[in-house]
A and B are shown apart, each in its own frame.
Chain A
Amino acid sequence: MASSRLERIGNIYSRVRGLLRSGAMKPEDKPIWYEVYEAFPPKVEPQYGRKASEITIHPIFYPEDIVRAKFYERFGSPGLISLANNEYPTPCQKFLDRYKEMEKDFSDENELFEAVAKVMEEEKSVPESVSSNQPDSGTSMASMFSSAVSKSQPQPKINVGDLLTEK
C-alpha cells in the first residue's frame, strides 16, 4: 500500500486524496478518518510553513486598575492571597466595592479615594497604611534585620585560659 511521508507538503488530507485519485491507494484501503475529515474539516487547514499573521497582542487593563494601583501603594499587599478560594473577598476587592458605592457622591477621583480610605480605615477593613508605619514595626527585610540586631543579647565572653585551668 502506498503512502506519502512528506509532512511539509500540504496536509494529510491533501496527500491521501492525491494517492486515492492517482490510484496508488485503493478505495478499500481508504483510512478510517478520511470521510470524517471530509465531513468535519478543521477550521484552519494544517500546513507546515504557514506564515504567522500580523496581529498585535493587546494588553488587558480595566478602569478599576487605577484604583487598585493607588490602593496597593497606600496599603500594601496582605502577602498571601488564595486565588482558588472565591468565598472571602480580599481587602482590595472590598475597597473597590465601597469605591463603586461612593462614586456618585464625589466628582474628584483623589477626594473620593481619600474618603473611601478614611471610611475603610475606621471600619478596620484594611491594614494600616504602609506610609504611616514606624520603621521598627515595619515588615521589610531591612527593618527586620535591624530589629533583630538590637534584640540579640550580647555574647558572653569566654576566656579559653580560664576554661583550661578549671578542673
Chain B
Amino acid sequence: MEYEAAVKGPLKLKGTANKDIQKKLKKKNKEKNAASLKVDQLADIKESELKEISDPLKFPDYFGVRKLFRIKDLFDARIHYGHKDGTLDPNMKPYIFGSRLGHLIFDLDKTAEMLQDALNFTAHIAYRGGIILFVSHCPQHTLTVENAAKQAGEYAHAREWDFHIFTNSEKVYNGVTRLPDLVILLSTLNPQMQEHTAVKDAAKMCIPTIGIVDSNSNPNLITYPIPGNDDSPAAVQLYCNLFRDAILLGKSKKPVEVY
C-alpha cells in the first residue's frame, strides 16, 4: 500500500537530527566534567551552533501538539463515521478501516497520525508569523469555525466562496493583497457536494492546505489531508479546538528570528 510504504520510507530526518543534537550535548557535558568549569569552554559554542540547537524545525514535536488529543477523543467526537459504501471516493480507500453494514469506518490510527502532522505544521506556520485562513462552506458550522478563528487570532471564510478571491485578489480587493500562508479546510466539499474551489485555488497559488476529507472527498490536491468525519457538529468542534490550540501554542513561543 502506498501509504504504508511512504510511512516506512526514509522520512527519518527528525529522528537523526535529534540524535545529532544529543551527541553534541553529550560531548559538551564530557568536556565540562573532564576539566573544571571554565567560562572559555562555554564561549566555544559558536553562535551558529546555538541557533541550530534551538531551531524548532530540528525537533519532531517542538510545540507538543501530540498532547492535544487522544484517540478516545476522536472516537467520542464520532470522527470515525464515514458515509455509505456507494459514495466512497476511490482515493480514500487506504484510510478506511472497514464497512459496518454499509457504513464506512475510518482507521483512527491513521487519522491520528495525519492529524498530528497537520497540527505540527500549523503550529510552525503560526510560530513564523504566517496568516492562517479557516475555510468551510457548511452553513451549520459557520459559527463554530468563525469563533475558532477569532480565538486563535487568525482569519476565517465560512461563507460563499467568490471564485476570484485567490486567483485575482488584487482586482477583488482593489489593492495589493497578501494571501494566506496556510488554508485549513473544515470540509472540502461545498453544499453542492462538489470539491470546494479553495482546494484547487490554493494549489494554484502555491499555498499549503490542511483539509478534513470525508469518505466522499478527493484528498489528492490537499497537502496534509486528515481523513475523518466532517459532518457531525461534535467532530467539527473538536477540529476547530485542536487547530486553535495548535496556533496558540505556536504563537506562545518567542521566535528566534523575526520574518
Question: A residues within 8 Å of B by Cβ?
Answer: 3-7, 11-12, 15-16, 31-33, 35-37, 39-50, 52-53, 55, 57-60
Question: B residues within 8 Å of A by Cβ?
Answer: 1-3, 6-7, 11, 13-14, 57-58, 85, 88, 90-91, 93-94, 96-101, 104-105, 113-114, 117, 120-121, 124-125, 128-130, 167, 181-182, 200, 203-208, 219-225, 259
Q: Which of A37, A53, A59 contacts B1 (CB 8 A)?
A: A53
* B167: min CB distance to chain A, Å: 8
Given contacts A44-B3, A46-B223, A53 and B94 within 8 Å (CB-CB):
yes
Q: Which of A31, A39, A42, A48 contacts B221 (CB 8 A)?
A: A48
State the majority secondary structure of interface residues on B. Answer: mixed
**Count of A-B contacts with CB under 8 A?**
114
A48 touches B220 (CB 8 A): yes
Residues of A within 8 A of B104 (CB): 57
Measured in the bound complex, the distance between the Cα atoms of B104 and A62 in whole Å is 16
Measured in the bound complex, the distance between the Cα atoms of B225 and A52 in whole Å is 15
* A34: min CB distance to chain B, Å: 9
Q: Which of B93, B100, B219, B224 contacts A55 (CB 8 A)?
A: B93
B204 touches A57 (CB 8 A): no
B181 touches A31 (CB 8 A): yes
B97 touches A37 (CB 8 A): no
Given contacts A59-B100, A60-B100, A42 and B206 within 8 Å (CB-CB):
no
Residues of B within 8 A of A41 (CB): 11
Residues of A within 8 A of B207 (CB): 12, 33
Residues of B within 8 A of A3 (CB): 205-206
* A83: min CB distance to chain B, Å: 9
B120 touches A40 (CB 8 A): yes
Can you sample 21 A-B contacts with CB below 8 Å? Answer: A5-B167, A5-B205, A11-B203, A12-B203, A15-B206, A31-B206, A32-B181, A33-B121, A33-B208, A36-B57, A36-B121, A40-B57, A40-B120, A43-B113, A43-B117, A46-B223, A53-B94, A57-B85, A57-B93, A60-B98, A60-B100
Residues of B within 8 A of A35 (CB): 57
A52 touches B91 (CB 8 A): yes
* B2: min CB distance to chain A, Å: 6
A12 touches B125 (CB 8 A): no
Residues of B within 8 A of A59 (CB): 98-101
Residues of A within 8 A of B6 (CB): 43-45
A42 touches B117 (CB 8 A): yes
* Sample of 18 further A-B pairs with CB below 8 A, known A7-B200, A36-B57: A5-B167, A7-B203, A7-B204, A11-B203, A12-B207, A31-B206, A32-B130, A35-B57, A36-B124, A39-B124, A40-B120, A40-B124, A43-B117, A44-B225, A48-B220, A52-B91, A59-B98, A60-B97
Given contacts A16-B206, A53-B2, A60-B99, A32 and B94 within 8 Å (CB-CB):
no
Residues of A within 8 A of B7 (CB): 43
B206 touches A40 (CB 8 A): no
- Listed residue (B97, B101, B204) with the most chain A CB atoms within 10 angstroms of its CB: B204
Given contacts A5-B205, A60-B105, A40 and B14 within 8 Å (CB-CB):
yes
Measured in the bound complex, the distance between the Cα atoms of B119 and A42 in whole Å is 12
B206 touches A4 (CB 8 A): yes
In order of increasing CB-CB distance, the 10 nearest A-B pairs are: A52-B90, A7-B203, A60-B98, A39-B57, A5-B204, A55-B93, A60-B100, A36-B124, A12-B206, A32-B130
A42 touches B224 (CB 8 A): yes
* B220: min CB distance to chain A, Å: 5
Residues of A within 8 A of B13 (CB): 39
* B78: min CB distance to chain A, Å: 9
